[in-house]
Amino acid sequence: MYNNLPDKPHDECGVFGFYNNDNFDLAALTRDALYGLQHRGQESVGLTIIKDGEPYSVKDLGIVSNVLTDAALSKLPEGGKISVGHVRYTTLDYLERAATQPLVMRYIEGSLAIAHNGSLTNFAEIRTGLEKGGAIFQSNSHAEVIGYTIATNRVGKENFEQAVQKTMDDLKGAYSAVISSPEKLYGVRDPHGFKPLCLGKLKNSYIIASESCVIDTLGGEFIRDIDPGEVVMIGEDGISSFHCATDKFTSLCLFEYVYLARPDSVIDGVNVNEARHRAGRLLFEENPVDADIVCGVPDSGLDAAQGFAEASGITYATTFIKNKYIGRTSKGVGNEKKEKLLRMRLNVLKNVVDGKRVVIIDDSIIHGNTSAHIVKLLKEAGAKEVHMRISSPEFVYPCFFGVDLPDEKDLISNKLSVEELREKIGADSLSFLSIEGLHKIAEGCKIKLCDGCFSGIYYADLPKIIFEDRFANKIKK
Ligand code: SF4
């Protein structure tokens, strides 16, 4: 889960859709829902309302509270049948205003709005093929390629459903998407099921969302997860679905349970908060240590720290106070500035730490700088010993499916052994959860799981070509 700290992996996006069979204020409701997904992306946000088949949008770079203001929403028409919402984090090192979603495109049958989470592994091939046929793109967003492919496939097909089905045959990689046609709302999950997507109900209306916490936020009722390879359709005639070929190697991202998702979500049958507790218990079983207190790096280390405390009998203590009002660090910020930002974000309760042997739990280590800062803060506050435990294995391979990890060569665990890394961050001991342990945290998950960035084993096609846009109009972060 997003925790305002630098040096963390990030998901690419969160998606939301609503089919209004009641009389909800669609714009306000969609904004409320997007607050519940803000942890999945803080770089741009948007919503589109479909009324009488026509789309009306508000979107821009920024977070929900800055972009979807009362003044901005007041320009949208009242009522409306369908809404599509999106929060975005990009893995690119620049921002594109044109890539803010939902993307609205006019095609042969009217308008479609699309909100996408994930990363296509054949993006370069599809995009280049479309460009060679004369297609014009406004952004480097994968959503634009998905929308364009649906629009192209709609020509010669009987209906939108057939176009979506054909598009799922064309796309490779990770995508959970919410799409509107003029009359219907669609939820689409790729055959591997990399990204979560679920279905809920609010009175007589329907919700599609990246995470179940949004359904709770709205006061709705969780119906079920959308299956890998499934398309759910909601229209005047009710709800229906069909399955495209589900890959036998389904691959839900395990890092959703460690960090990306909100702890109050349930994904494919596993409660995220319980998964993190389990990670803490397993961490102690695999790597026990004698200490006086155990604490977590807020927010995603807290549940695992409680699990570690329960398993070890070591007292759980709140040690870090987080300032929630400071935004995310931009990429490329130097170490000195990062340290300053970290001090502003996290302050240590010296009276809790002073003279103690401390176990500190964090969810991952990417570059190692943040871990070194955290150890330093604890030692400056008087900790006698600092034992760091990480509730995921070492990141040693890239992610091709929409989680922002640095190049392999920049991952610290590719450069240093655990002992060398311990020395670099200044901890008295350091250990990671094993890959076997990582799978155990998601015990009961209804589908198979991806651990590619930890194991180097991927059960999906990897990109053959990387797309480079030489003409992009880049707004530097
Ligand atoms: S490679 Fe890692 S981050 Fe990417 S989907 Fe798989 S588990 Fe998640």
Buried-state track 276-301, b at ≥16 Cβ within 10 A, e below 16: bbbbbbbbbeebebebbbbbbbbbbb
- CA 257 – CA 262 distance, rounded (Å): 9
Average pLDDT over all residues of the chain: 92
At 229 the pLDDT is 95
Tell me if 410 sits within 8 A of 453, measured CB to CB. no
Q: Ligand 1 pocket test: pick from 395, 399, 448 the residue with the most ligand atoms within 8 Å of its Cβ.
A: 399
Nearest ligand 1 atom to the CA of 452 is 1
- CA 187 – CA 428 distance, rounded (Å): 48
- CA 198 – CA 431 distance, rounded (Å): 34
> Tokens at residue 181, please?
């046609």
At 107 the pLDDT is 87
Of 170, 352, 155, give the one whose Cα is nearest residue 244: 170
> Tokens at residue 51, please?
């009324």
Q: Which long-range contacts (CB under 8 A, 24 or more apart) does 408-416 make?
A: 410/367, 411/366, 411/367, 412/365, 412/366, 412/367, 412/368, 413/365, 416/368
Residues 6+ apart with CB under 8 A from 463: 121, 122, 123, 124, 173, 400
Question: What does each of the 477 residues of the chain score in pLDDT, given as a tens digit?
Answer: 444 455 666 657 999 999 999 999 999 999 999 999 999 999 999 999 999 999 999 999 999 999 999 999 999 999 899 999 999 987 666 677 888 999 999 988 899 999 999 999 999 999 999 999 898 898 889 999 999 999 999 998 999 999 999 999 999 999 999 999 999 999 999 999 999 999 999 999 999 999 999 999 999 999 999 999 999 999 999 999 999 876 678 999 999 999 999 999 999 999 999 999 999 999 999 999 999 999 999 988 999 999 999 999 999 999 999 887 776 554 555 667 777 788 888 899 999 999 999 999 999 999 999 899 999 999 999 999 999 999 999 999 999 999 988 888 889 999 999 999 999 999 999 999 999 999 999 999 999 999 999 999 999 889 888 777 766 656 555
Handedness of CA 325, 331, 332, 338 (dihedral sign): positive
At 8 the pLDDT is 64
Q: Which domains does the chain have, with CATH numbers?
A: 10-251 (3.60.20.10), 273-445 (3.40.50.2020)
- Report the separation in Å between the CA atom of 231 and the middle of ligand 1, taken as the mean of its atom positions: 23
Per the rule left: phi > 0, alpha: psi between -120 and 50, beta: everything else, 4 is left
Residue carrying the six token digits 């009488």: 52
Residues 6+ apart with CB under 8 A from 238: none
Tell me if 192 sits within 8 A of 251, measured CB to CB. yes
Burial of residue 342 (CB within 10 Å: 0-12, 13-18, 19+) is buried
Burial of residue 385 (CB within 10 Å: 0-12, 13-18, 19+) is middle
- Report the separation in Å between the CA atom of 347 and the middle of ligand 1, taken as the mean of its atom positions: 31
- Report the separation in Å between the CA atom of 130 and the middle of ligand 1, taken as the mean of its atom positions: 28
Ligand 1 pocket: which residues have CB below 6 Å? 194, 253-255, 399, 401, 403, 450-453
Number of Cβ within 10 Å of residue 477's Cβ equals 16
- CA 30 – CA 208 distance, rounded (Å): 11
Nearest ligand 1 atom to the CA of 449 is 7
Q: Ligand 1 pocket test: pick from 397, 450, 455 the residue with the most ligand atoms within 8 Å of its Cβ.
A: 450
**Do β-strands 185-189 and 173-180 pair in parallel, antiparallel, or remain unpaired?**
antiparallel
Residue nearest to ligand 1 atom 5, measured at CA? 253
- CA 82 – CA 58 distance, rounded (Å): 14
Q: Which residues pair with 471 in a beta bridge?
A: none
Buried-state track 45-80, b at ≥16 Cβ within 10 A, e below 16: bbbbbbbeeebbbbbebebbeebbeeebbeebeeeb
**Within 13 Å and on the Cβ side, how many CA atoms surround 180?**
38
Would you call 295 a catalytic residue per the annotation? no
Tell me if 362 sits within 8 A of 391, measured CB to CB. yes
Residue type, 422: R
- Report the separation in Å between the CA atom of 394 and the middle of ligand 1, taken as the mean of its atom positions: 12
- CA 378 – CA 395 distance, rounded (Å): 24
For the CA atoms of 430, 433, 434, 436, what is the dihedral angle to 10 degrees? 170
Tell me if 160 sits within 8 A of 147, measured CB to CB. no
